[in-house]
């Protein structure tokens, strides 16, 4: 028996990737709005209420409007915008964070898909807070490198066009005002009392990202080593289908290792790394900003809500 699925915003980057992930699935009946009506509120409302599951791949204001269209109690919403990620009434779509997160996704009619940077950040910081390695008031700093696909259709066109500006050949730091749209989510989901500092960089490759959090161990309430933190992550993500805690490297191997950001491009996986020494520890999360950081995470949540294998259509 199939379920009816509608994607509101099916022509955007995330919507198109969700469509790709549904190829070959016979448990889903896609209902698709006509091109000329895809921005018509009445037509969108009709399709949302015809569906069993609706994905919102829209700007924040449009996502909030779409939720207001729902007048059928059985419609379950999976929102890929930033509009509802800090709303406690919505499930946060990162099931690996805890059993409680997974259960809320399974039973909720409203699920907010995490942001790409926030996914990498939370994968590192949530366990640190949850296991008492850092206190909730710890001054967290994070930086990240990302492919340009996360910047949207207009930016993709510039990067891939014949008149690409010279500066676009270089990694470009942005959100320098410390007001990146993912910051409220990164703080709330990870259990932090204060907003972290965040330094993202968009780079000249299509997709994939690494989010990194450095830790000076002298600032921690109790002594920990890289091995201690690695063991904590291994236990926290034990049995996770989509998250792999990578082996702890010897110091000599770390010296010659380069951590690329595009390795998981096209995959719905995440890798967690622990580097450094007893004095300075570097924690990194690698993922595809269009996969585990967007469309793949959305489909994983759908699978959990449907009560089927969460990896369906993803691996």
Q: Which of 57, 116, 203, 284 is catalytic?
A: 116
57 included as an active-site residue: no
DSSP symbols for the chain: --EEEEEETTTSHHHHHHHHHTTT-SSEEE----GGGTT-HHHHHHHHHH-SEEEE-S-HHHHHHHHHT---TT-EEEE-SSTTTT-TTSEES-GGG-HHHHHHHHH-SEEEPPPHHHHHHHHHHHHHHHTTSS-TT---EEEEEEEGGGG-HHHHHHHHSTT--GGGGS-EE--TTS--TTHHHHHHHHT-SSPPEEEEEEESSSS-EEEEEEEEGGGSSS---HHHHHHHHHHHTTT-SSEEEPPPPPHHHHHT----SSTTTT---EEEEEEE-SSEEEEEEEE-TTIIIIIHHHHHHHHHHHTS-TTTTT-
Active site residues: 116
């Amino acid at each position: 028996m199939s379920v009816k699925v509608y994607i509101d915003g099916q022509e955007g980057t995330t919507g198109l990737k969700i469509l790709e992930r549904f190829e070959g699935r016979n448990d889903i009946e896609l209902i698709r709005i006509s091109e000329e009506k895809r921005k018509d509120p009445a037509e969108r409302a009709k399709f949302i209420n015809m569906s069993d599951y609706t994905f919102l791949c829209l700007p924040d204001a449009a996502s909030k409007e779409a939720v207001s269209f729902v007048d059928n109690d059985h419609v379950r919403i999976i929102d890929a915008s930033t509009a509802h990620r800090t709303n406690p009434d919505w499930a946060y779509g990162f099931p690996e964070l805890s059993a409680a997160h997974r259960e809320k996704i399974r039973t909720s009619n409203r699920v907010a898909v995490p942001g790409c940077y926030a996914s990498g950040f939370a994968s590192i910081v949530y366990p640190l807070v949850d296991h008492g390695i850092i206190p909730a008031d710890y001054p967290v700093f994070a930086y990240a490198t990302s492919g340009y696909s996360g910047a949207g259709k207009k930016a993709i066109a510039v990067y891939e066009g014949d008149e690409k500006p010279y500066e676009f050949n270089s990694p470009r730091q942005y959100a320098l005002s410390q007001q990146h749209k993912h910051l409220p989510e990164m703080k709330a989901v990870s259990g932090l009392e204060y907003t972290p500092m965040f330094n993202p960089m968009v780079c000249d490759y299509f997709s994939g990202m690494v989010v990194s959090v450095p830790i000076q161990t002298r600032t921690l309430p109790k002594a920990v080593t890289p091995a201690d933190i690695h063991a904590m992550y291994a236990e926290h993500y034990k049995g996770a289908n989509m998250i792999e805690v990578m082996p702890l490297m010897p110091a000599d191997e770390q010296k010659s290792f380069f951590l690329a950001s595009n390795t998981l491009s096209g995959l719905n996986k995440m890798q967690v790394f622990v580097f450094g020494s007893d004095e300075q520890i570097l924690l990194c999360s690698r993922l595809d900003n269009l996969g585990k950081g967007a469309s793949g995470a959305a489909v994983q949540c759908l699978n959990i809500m449907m009560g089927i294998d969460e990896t369906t259509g993803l691996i």
